[in-house]
A and B are shown apart, each in its own frame.
Chain A
Amino acid sequence: MSTFLEMSGISKRFGGVHALRNVDLTLEAGEVHCLVGENGSGKSTLIKIISGVEAAEPGGRIAICGKEYPNLNPVYSTHCGIQVIYQDLSLFPNLTVAENIAMAHHLGGLHSVDWVSIRATAKATMAKIGVEFDPDAKVAELSIAGRQLVAICRALAADAKLLIMDEPTASLTRHEVNTLIKLVSELKRAGICVVFVSHRLDEVLEIAERVTVLRDGAKVGTFAADTINGRKLSQLMTGKSFEYQVQAPELAAGPIVLEVKGLGREGEYEDVSLQLRAGEVVGLTGLLGSGRTELALSLFGMKPPDRGTIALDGRPVALRTNADAIDRGIAYVSEDRLALGLILNQSVTANVTLTVLERLAGAFGLIAARARRTHVARWVAELGIKVSNPANAVKTLSGGNQQRVVLAKWMATNPRVLILDSPTVGVDISAKDGIYEIIRRLARDGVAVLMISDEIPEVLYHSHRVLVMREGRLTTDVAAAATSEDALRQAVNA
């Protein structure tokens, strides 16, 4: 194996803040290398230096294929075959698959478009990694996973030798992640070095051969993936240790709040029966398309079931709209908090009070400013939302704090049943812990929590009971203490 990139003594300061301190990194051709670290650990800065967008401070050394580049810039780095796929993929949704892949054809001075060669390039590149999209389809018509494949094809068409992917699995289902992992091993065989930047530690360990951990701008170390585990990794990233235990089952002995019998919805899920008790956290996992999200939406009144009954406190209820559900004390935190759960451009105050405007209304139905201030201050304190001023827009907050705002918004309605869909996606490890703590506290206060997640350890270590759905049916309903990660993984993928 030959060394593709070697960098040493890389430092970078923004203002007075050290973003990177004396970092060394070696990337071998044909290796899969993961770069992990919390937000602000310097991952993005490191990528920017590799791609030539930012210059390292003097004293740093960068060599690509043995050649030194004292003034690396984006042109050189592209020329050397370095390609970055950002989290937003940087695709053009309104153009065809072929054009996106063969975008290099469109660069340069005025010339006519050779559609034949664009399609040929696209087809050849897609064939290389065994994907087959209609080259004339618009990228907007593809799924997120499909778009990611197109982005990878574009990098390959530009003759990538080093492919850096920023959070490539953030919006993929487990099944799609598997496809991606297979694809990465193909790329590896072709001698391409793949760098993954990811939050999902179990995936990191699954994909990577080597893992480099950054913390506070400094390199903690580079490890062979088979010598460490998730717990060790999160400890290296945060410098703290998180010990998770399976929840004690006796905590969840409250009365049954929600009971579902024989619930079904055409083409989505069938014959689902389950119970949620007060004070209980129930984990629900399964592949995308297993019906778990649809079931949750039915419980929240947004996708009314065709068959079966839903009972709250033993009385059957008809949930036709989400307003019905909210009235009865059911809250839902959606998976895509950015699109559905939050109004990013509005203030923390506006978001937190959105669900309780009626309660805050004073004389003439106008919002009482003082009541609103008290309300917001209470939830900001209670959930530990880090915001200097509640009037700031939500988009200025970190992922973990955004998630807390969503939780505050729903907890303010005093829900009896709280449904959380993927509550920790895109949230740092330490911030995740804060969210788990909030969930535990809610349960202690007697709320019945249904937590949906892709991550097996998440549902196992933070629920009392675990449900697994597969192909529209509820296949597993087991106490967390009575199962294991492997058993659940099998139940999900079987």
Chain B
Amino acid sequence: MPKAHVASFGRFRRSHEFWLLLVILGLCAGLGFANAQFLTLQNLFDLLTSYAFVGILALGLLVVLIAGGIDISFTATASVAQYVTLSLANAYGANWISVFAIAIGIGGALGALNAVFIQKLRIPSIIVSIATLNIFYGLLIFFTGGKYIYSLPDWFATGIFWFEFEWGKDSSYGVNLQILALALAFLVTWLLLNRTNIGRQIYAMGGNADAAQRLGFHVFGLNILVYGYMGVMAGIASLIQAQLAQSVAPTVLVGKELDVVAAVVLGGASLMGGVGTVLGTFLGLTLLAVLQNGIILLGVSSYWSPFFVGLVILISVSATAWSQRERRTRSARA
């Protein structure tokens, strides 16, 4: 058994995730040294809260990428789910369970619609999702006239706080809605991908779609599930974003696709399908979050921050590429 542990650690050491982890640990150590505020529970909670929206979407996109597809319509899906759900809540009253049920339903349905187009019409997923992004968003803007919703139900605006603790004189922290949703999304996605046969079928389909078909996978059903899951994540993410911003702005989510794609791809998922892990996505997200956070804490001028963000991303990606090349050269020599 210890031998197996050694072997699996060896495998981990060669993985993309390991190098990403090293970069993040290095970055955290440096930041913690430079600013005492960085390594505080308060900062951790703030970061988790701020990045929950991107993180939940990233998990949905991870599943789509592993299945060998791509979806960029999720911001529009989220905007629609957010607007419709909270308009209904304002008009007819609702509670936590019903708002999440509605948002998940809308998100899942719009996601599944993508899958239907992709599978039945055999159109590449990128084209379908570019089209549906514009269709969903266009319809939303047409019907709402782009009006913001500023007043949300009181219970919704108040949010959820668990395990509250005092921090400093006035402020308090706790597990809020955003952190709770993010943690659940990570747990469920991890279980789906690693502990269910459907998750393994998703990996298999992304690795070799022809073989999956030949072995009798229910490919259409799998795709409905995959894109539907992306939509469900978009629905959940949309609600926690609205809760955080204390308003619904139909125009503000579309355009944030790239942050999400960056987190997932930085975490090692391949746009070619079949490759990617929940841990990697977590680390990719962490790297982006720590970078943005650290740059302000270090007092780096805003004019320089894009440069440093780009630099660190390049370093972390090069570390993996370099380690893999080293390994190839070594095994070629052996």
Contacts and interface: CB of A to CB of B under 8 A. Distances in A.
A71 interface: no
Nearest to A118: B200
A88 B210 CA distance: 10
A99 B208 CA distance: 14
A113 B203 CA distance: 13
Interface stretch (B88-96, B106-114, B213-221, B250-258): B213-221
A106 B197 contact: yes
Interface string A97-128: 00100010111101111000000000000000
B163 to A, nearest CB: 30
A90 interface: yes
A104 to B, nearest CB: 9
B13 interface: no
Interface in B275-290: 275
Contact of B197 (A88, A90, A93, A107): A107
Nearest to B192: A110
B196 A94 contact: no
Contacts of A60: none
Contacts of A106: 197, 200-201, 204
B218 to A, nearest CB: 9
A375 B11 CA distance: 53
Contacts, number: 66
A95 B207 CA distance: 8
A110 B222 CA distance: 11
Interface in B1-56: 7-8, 11
Given A105-B197, A106-B201, A136-B7, A90 B210 contact: yes
A134 interface: yes
Nearest to A114: B197
Contacts of A289: none
A267 interface: yes
Contacts of A69: none
A92 B204 contact: yes
Contacts of B212: 92
B200 A95 contact: yes
Nearest to B206: A94
Contacts of A136: 7-8, 11
B3 to A, nearest CB: 11
A139 B274 CA distance: 12
Interface in B178-232: 194-201, 203-204, 206-208, 210-212, 214-217
Contact of B195 (A92, A103, A113, A267): A113
Give 5 closest A-B pairs by Cβ, nearest first: A90-B211, A94-B207, A94-B274, A92-B207, A106-B197
24 contacts: A86-B214, A91-B208, A92-B204, A92-B208, A92-B274, A93-B208, A94-B206, A94-B274, A94-B275, A95-B207, A99-B200, A99-B204, A106-B200, A107-B197, A107-B217, A108-B197, A110-B198, A111-B196, A112-B195, A112-B197, A113-B197, A113-B199, A136-B7, A136-B8
